Amino acid sequence: MTVLSHPEFDGHELVEFVTDRRSGLVAIIAIHSTVLGPAGGGIRFFPYASEMDAVTDVLRLSKAMTNKMAMGEVPLGGGKSVILGDPRTDKTEALLEAYGDAVEALGGRYICGEDMGMTPDDMEVVARRTDHARGTASGSGDTSPLTAHTVFLSIRAAVRHRLGTGLDGIRVAVQGAGAVGSKLVAKLADAGAAVLVADVDPGAASRTGAEVVGIDEVLAADVDVLAPCAMGGVLSASTIPTIRASIVCGAANNQLATPADAERLRAADVLYVPDYVANIGGVYSAVIDRKGADVARVKADAVEGRVIELLERAEAEGTSPAAAADRRVAEILAAARG
C-alpha cells in the first residue's frame, strides 16, 4: 500500500518521511491543508507497532487538525508529525535538533507544537533549529491546562444540553490520567462531579485522587459521561454497544475508529461531542506564542457556547454532532477558497 492509496489519505498537500542516521531520527510530517494558513499541529513521539500504524496516525491526525483549526476559528491549516520511537529511551537532543532542521526546511509551511511524548523543554530543543516551533518552556509552555479547560467546558455544555443540569452529582469516567486527563479529573471534581478514572499506569490513576477502575472497565462504566483522554480509535462497532454513558466527550484525538461510528453513537442514543471541537484549548495555548498576548483564555471560554450551538444545529438537522461539525468545516474551507 502506498500513501496515495491509503484509506486515510484525504488529498494531503504533503507527506514527508524524515530520517537522520546520525541521531536515529525516523519521522513523518503530514500537511493536510494550508487553505486557512500555515499548517499547525503537534509532534507525537510514540513507539508505533509498525510504520504503517504511524502513517495511519499522522494522516488522521493532520486531517483532524484542519477540522480543529476551522471550527476553532484559528487562522492556521492542519498538519501533524510523528516521531517513531519510545520517548523514554530514544529521545535525545540530537534527534530533536534533527527534527527541528526538517521543520525549518519547510520554510514556515508547518508550525509544530507539543503533543504526546513531548514536553515544553523538548520544544525548546526543537526551537534551537527552527523558528516554527511553539509550546516551548519559555513561550506558552504546557498546553495541557487549557486543553483540559475546553474539554471541561464542552462536557458542561453537553450535560446541560442532554441532561438539563449542571455537573454537581454527575458521574464521569475519564479514560487516561496523563497531562490532560489528570487536570480534567481535578476540574470535574471541583465542580462536584463524581469521577472514575482509568489508566494503563495504575499509579497515575491513583494520583488523581479519583476512584480508580480497570482500563478494561472504563468504557462500559455506569456513568453519565465518558471522557476518552488517551489514544484514539476507542469508539468502534465493538465498543459502542457496551457504552452506558449518555454523553461522550473527551480530549483524545480521533476517538472514532471510523466515520460511521458517529452514526452508531447516535443510533445508540449517545451524545458525542467531536473531539476536535472539545480539545481546541491546546491550540489556543500556542496563540500566546504567536501573538505575544494572552488571548488564549478568552478564546477558550467561548468553546462552551460553540458546543451548545453545534449540538442545537445537529438536533435541528436530525444528524450527529460529528456530521454537523464536518459540514461546518466544509463550509468554512469552501468560503476560504472563494
**Distance of alpha carbon 13 from the chain centroid:** 21
Is the Cβ–Cβ distance between 257 and 263 less than 8 Å?
no
Is the Cβ–Cβ distance between 275 and 61 less than 8 Å?
no
Q: Rounded to whole angstroms, what are the CA distances from 188 to 182, 210, 220, 225, 324?
A: 10, 10, 19, 11, 27
Q: In terms of DSSP H, where are the helices of the chain?
A: 51-71, 93-105, 120-127, 144-163, 179-190, 202-207, 260-267, 275-278, 281-291, 296-301, 303-317, 321-337
| 68, 80, 183, 187: the active-site residue | 80
- How far is the C-alpha of 41 from the C-alpha of 66, rounded, in Å? 9
Is the Cβ–Cβ distance between 167 and 151 less than 8 Å?
no
Catalytic-residue membership of 291 = no
**Distance of alpha carbon 98 from the chain centroid:** 25
- CB-count exposure of residue 46 (10 Å: 0-12, 13-18, 19+): buried
Rg, Å, the chain Cα set: 19
- Catalytically annotated residues: 80
